[in-house]
């Protein structure tokens, strides 16, 4: 009888404890919109291989939250909404898609694998957020890109890329669309630059 009462008491205690735990707020999960830019018609296939690395980022950007700077230097995020992956992963995957659509570099891999490559594309993600200037909002995507030689990690080329997309609608779905548009333009420029540099700097084939 005592054991039964103790079991019942423990059960009620557990139920009571569960009832006071905070409920997690539901979130809308957004992917970066699919690329809208047309694929390149170029057929000049390159013989060198390229590995795409996740970009380094601050703690504020290296997470799935959708970042926004409403004023000054305050970094916040949109409530009840998040990305499907942290921003560096989204940007890396968009760049991978950009190279695949361009078609000139066919030997592609990412840092999710251990494949060696002639060149590696990495760097840092400096901005992936909405910024307000007064009442005007814009999506800002800024990347400091590095092209690195695979076998010794020597930096061969570097360049900063930045795209801004003005927003007439600041609801989250429209903001996500703005991120897609800015990412499309930035991707096209990074791909063109990397292919141009790779043609000059990739190690010669034996």
Domains of the chain, residue spans: 44-201
- Quick: pLDDT tens for 82-132: 999 999 999 999 999 999 999 999 999 999 998 999 999 999 999 999 999
What is the pTM assigned to this prediction?
0.85
The pLDDT tens digits for 52-90 are 999 999 999 999 999 999 999 999 999 999 999 999 999
Please list, residue by residue across 51-88, b when 16 or more beta carbons sit within 10 angstroms of its beta carbon and e when fewer do.
bbbbbebeeebbbbbbbbbeeeeeeebbeebbbebbbb
44-201: CATH superfamily: ABC-type transport auxiliary lipoprotein component (3.40.50.10610)
Give the pLDDT of residue 38: 60
């Amino acid at each position: 009888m005592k054991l039964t009462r103790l079991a019942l008491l423990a059960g009620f205690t557990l139920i009571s404890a569960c009832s006071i735990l905070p409920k997690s707020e539901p979130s809308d999960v957004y992917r970066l919109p699919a690329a809208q830019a047309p694929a390149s018609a170029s057929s000049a296939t390159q013989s060198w291989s390229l590995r795409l690395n996740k970009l380094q980022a601050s703690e504020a950007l290296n997470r799935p939250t959708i970042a926004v700077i409403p004023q000054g230097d305050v970094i916040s995020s949109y409530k009840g909404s998040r990305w499907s992956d942290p921003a560096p992963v989204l940007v890396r995957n968009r760049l991978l898609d950009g190279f695949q659509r361009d078609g000139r570099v066919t030997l592609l891999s990412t840092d999710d694998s251990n494949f060696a490559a002639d060149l590696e594309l990495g760097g840092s993600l400096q901005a992936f957020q909405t910024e307000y200037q007064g009442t005007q909002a814009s999506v800002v995507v800024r990347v400091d890109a590095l092209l690195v030689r695979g076998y010794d990690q020597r930096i061969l080329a570097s360049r900063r890329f930045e795209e801004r997309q003005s927003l007439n609608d600041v609801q989250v779905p429209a903001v996500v669309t703005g991120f897609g548009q800015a990412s499309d333009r930035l991707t096209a420029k990074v791909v063109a630059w990397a292919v141009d540099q790779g043609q000059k700097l990739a190690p010669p084939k034996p």
